[in-house]
Amino acid sequence: MSSEEVDDEGGVWFVLEKASLEVAKVGKNYQLLNCDDHANFLRKHKRDPATVRPDIVHQALLAILDSPLNKAGKLKGLYVLTDSKVLIQVNPHIRIPRTFKRFCGLMVQLLQKLSIRASNGPEKLLRVVKQPVTKHLPVGARYVGLSYSAPKVIKLHDYVAAMGLKQKMVFVVGAMAHGKIEADYIEDLIAVSEYPLSAACCIGRICNALEQQYKIL
């Protein structure tokens, strides 16, 4: 931590909802389904390829894990809930593959073995855990859902500042192409822009507001 950063008891958790992470046997191999490589396969199985977008969760994870917020140790937990209700716990110390192809390979491995260990020790970097996600989230945190169609558009910097440094915060962001998050534990549903954003852009806004709040440069 640099001398400029603020020490406190708060911290941030993210939940990425409705992520499209699905493994299927295509030809001889198990693969992570995606709209570009498996359009014919998906249509053959009466699925709309436009909804099969694991690239959204890949970009969202990179946006969270690469953030100065995470580097400063403020990211306390990260969960991905797939649209088939598999809950994945992501260790904030993981280095997610930067290329989509390698990301797909890692997800296939995870969904088959149910956990991925660090190569240099016993630490689990990715783990399928039991639902509900609330069991893994801190008591007394502020649970905030993000949606373009929320009744209020707020200035995120003011919103975060009003909560104070000691407040634990959980942000729930959709990792799907269409539809809305459906987390019944959310206390506040907010829009952070007048425009529909990508999940990664929305996360960038959240991280930026929190970095200012915690004085992380």
Mask 131-150, x = binds ligand SAM (CB under 6 A)?
Answer: ---------------xxx--
Half-sphere exposure of 57 (CA within 13 A, CB side): 30
The Cα–Cα gap between 122 and 164 comes to 36
Three-state DSSP class for residue 162: helix
How long, in residues, is the chain?
217
CA angle 72, 78, 80 (to 5 degrees): 150
Q: Closest distance between ligand SAM and the C-beta of residue 179, in Å?
A: 6
Which residue(s) pair with 142 in the sheet? 169
Interaction residues for ligand SAM, span 63-122 (CB under 6 A): none
CB of 198 to ligand SAM, least distance (A): 5
What is the nearest approach in angstroms of ligand SAM to the Cβ of residue 206?
A: 9
Q: Give the C-alpha separation, 201 to 146, whole Å.
A: 12
* Residue placing its CB nearer to ligand SAM in the complex, 107 or 173: 173
Question: Which CB sits closer to ligand SAM, 113 or 155?
Answer: 155
Query: Please, what is the minimum distance in Å from the beta carbon of residue 4 to ligand SAM?
Result: 29
The Cα 58–Cα 173 span in angstroms is: 13
- Using CA atoms, how far apart are residues 173 and 144, in angstroms rounded to an integer? 9
Q: Of the two residues 123 and 182, which places its CB atom closer to ligand SAM in the complex?
A: 182
Q: Are 78 and 64 in contact (CB under 8 A)?
A: yes
**Comparing C-alpha atoms, which of 14, 106, 2 is closest to residue 54?**
106
Q: Nearest distance from residue 14's CB to ligand SAM, in Å? A: 11
Q: Smallest gap, in angstroms, from Cβ of residue 160 to ligand SAM? A: 14
Binding to ligand SAM (CB under 6 A) within 173-212 occurs at 173-174, 176, 178, 180-181, 191-193, 195-199, 202
Nearer to ligand SAM, 24 or 150 (CB): 150
What are the residues whose beta carbons fall under 8 Å from the beta carbon of 4, sequence distance 6 or more? 215, 216, 217
24 vs 197, beta carbon nearer ligand SAM? 197
Q: Tell the smallest beta-carbon distance from residue 138 to ligand SAM (Å).
A: 20
C-alpha torsion 29→48→21→101, nearest 10: 60
Residues 156-175 that bind ligand SAM (CB under 6 A): 173-174
Residue ranges in contact with ligand SAM by CB under 6 A: 146-148, 173-174, 176, 178, 180-181, 191-193, 195-199, 202
